[in-house]
Amino acid sequence: MTELTVTQQEIEKRQVRLTVTIPDATIDKALRAKAKKLSKQVRIPGFRPGKAPYQVVVQRLGREAMLQEVVEDMSEQVYVDALEQSGVEPYDRAMLEDINLDEPVTLIFDVPLKPVVDPGDYRSVRVDYVGPSEEDIQKDADEELKQLLSRHLVWVPVEGAVEFGDLVTIDIKLTVDGEVVLENDDWDIVPDAEEFTLTPEFDGQFIGMSAGESKSFTAAFPEDSETAWAGKEGHFEVAVKGVKREEMPELDDELAASIGEYESADALRQAIHDHVAGHAQEHADEKYMMDVFEAALAQAKQMEYPDAAIERQIDRMADEQEALYQRYGIKSLEELLQLQRKSMQEFREELRQPAEETLKRDLLIGEIVEREQIPVNDYELEQFFGRQLGGDQEAVDRMMDSAENNATVKAYFTGLVKHTKGVALMLAIARGEEVPEPGQHVSEEAPIVEEEEMVEVEVVDAEVEEVVEASVSEEAEEMEAESEADSQPESNEKATLVE
């Protein structure tokens, strides 16, 4: 390890600035080693490869250029040594902010630190739960039924004046240049105020007419008409024979059966009501959870995190969107952005606010989980896999084996289960329920099942298993990569890139 002079300075957004000075002797030794290596690669007149003296190589290639390259080569190891000497534990990759080549050579690294959270008196948080009202549920159910019936409208004969949108049966005779060019009995038209049938004036001529009435009128065909009479004037003789109007059908058992496998109209109404009620309950539960998080975050005493934490969350959300769209045939995030005519920078900026909000919630629950000492056992982990895999026991067993044989995978999924239990605890606290004291939480134990009571679980679609197993592999690789990356610096646009 290189002996360095390292000073620390805490800066904003949970970062520490390491100013690292490299001894002149170390730089001189590195320069001489670089000169010897370059003398073998660069032809220097008067000397055989590798035999040119140090000063000649420096004069030939330039000390500043050689020093720049030497420092860049050293920067990665200098960063590692600086971390060891300072005892700083990076949360993510550091940024190499500056390199000063004047003697003594100095490198400046901005190192992101682990977020710090003080959730305050989170056990005092209380939020009233407001569930969906039966009145609102019934109102939405009626609207959904109305929309469903609107897809089964029927034409019903009506008396009275024609309106736009009616189905009108007419007799028509059209004369152009003294010649009858169109004559039709029982021709059905639907007068439209926006898109005319033959001429711009044609449809409006029927508005206000009733069955049994007739009229004659003259109208010009537009120059761009797709008919054979473009730009010509036509004389119309029309008679209204019947008028029908779309009406909502009455819901009866027969219609209910035609819509779906419903035994009666009441069964359809009940199915719609249950569907709407389920969605309303989910929405109310989601809103309540967000309200609880908002209240808990509002009274938290400390919540500090580096920008790197937000970037990590943006990465996760971007990966989720990419995986989602891949199911619809879009191969990559780049292809999606190309279709949306959006740059990667614009895409990530759109994710920044929701990513930061998600990060705050996750950090809060993570700290609560630690303080409450919430445990997770293998049975709970197995139950989690069972829910994700729809009960496919063979797939669950493979996932459990993977977790047992890979500590990173097990830690990841154990963290997910802890997070779920932490959210459930916070919701229970907010509702004012009695909960165990910190350190007194217990894991759910497997129920004792008699052998003859065990039932065979239906196997789910293999595609679900592949998605979950692929997710496990990707998350494990990502966590391992992040672990390795934490000990590596990353240059920003202002600084020299560390290869």
Alpha-carbon distance of 414 to 392, in angstroms, equals 20
CA dihedral 84, 88, 93, 97 (to 10 degrees): -90
Which residues, in sequence order, are CB contacts of 426 under 8 Å at separation 6+?
122, 125, 292, 293, 296, 365, 368
- What's the CATH number for 154-247? 3.10.50.40
Read off the pLDDT of residues 145-168 as tens digits, 9 standing for 90 and up.
999 999 999 999 999 999 999 999
- Sorted by where each begins, the domain ranges of the chain are 5-114, 154-247
Is the pTM of the predicted complex or chain greater than 0.75? no
> Residue ranges of the alpha helices (H) in 226-264?
253-259
Q: How far, rounded to the nearest angstrom, does the alpha carbon of residue 181 sit from its chain's CA centroid? A: 60
Asked, as a colleague might, if the bond just before 354 is cis with ω within 30 of 0, I would say no
Closest CA to 21 of 96, 82, 66, 72: 82
The per-residue pLDDT string of the chain (499 residues; one tens digit each, 9 = 90 and over) reads 568 999 999 999 999 999 999 999 999 999 999 888 888 888 888 788 878 888 888 888 888 899 999 999 999 999 999 999 999 999 999 999 999 998 899 999 999 999 999 999 999 999 999 999 999 999 999 999 999 999 999 999 999 999 999 999 999 999 999 999 999 999 999 999 999 999 999 999 999 999 999 999 999 999 999 999 999 999 999 999 999 999 999 999 999 999 988 999 999 999 999 999 999 999 999 999 999 999 999 999 999 999 999 999 999 999 999 999 999 999 999 999 999 999 999 999 999 999 999 999 999 999 999 999 999 999 999 999 999 998 899 999 999 999 999 999 999 999 999 999 999 999 999 999 999 999 999 999 988 766 555 444 444 344 444 544 555 555 555 555 555 555 566 655 333 322 2
| CATH of region 5-114, choose from 3.90.470.20, 3.30.70.1050, 3.30.950.10, 3.90.226.10 | 3.30.70.1050
> Residue ranges of the alpha helices (H) in 205-332?
253-259, 265-298, 307-326
Alpha-carbon distance of 448 to 314, in angstroms, equals 43
Residue with tokens 């038209």: 189
| Residue 220: strand, helix, or coil | strand
Q: How far, rounded to the nearest angstrom, does the alpha carbon of residue 214 sit from its chain's CA centroid? A: 61
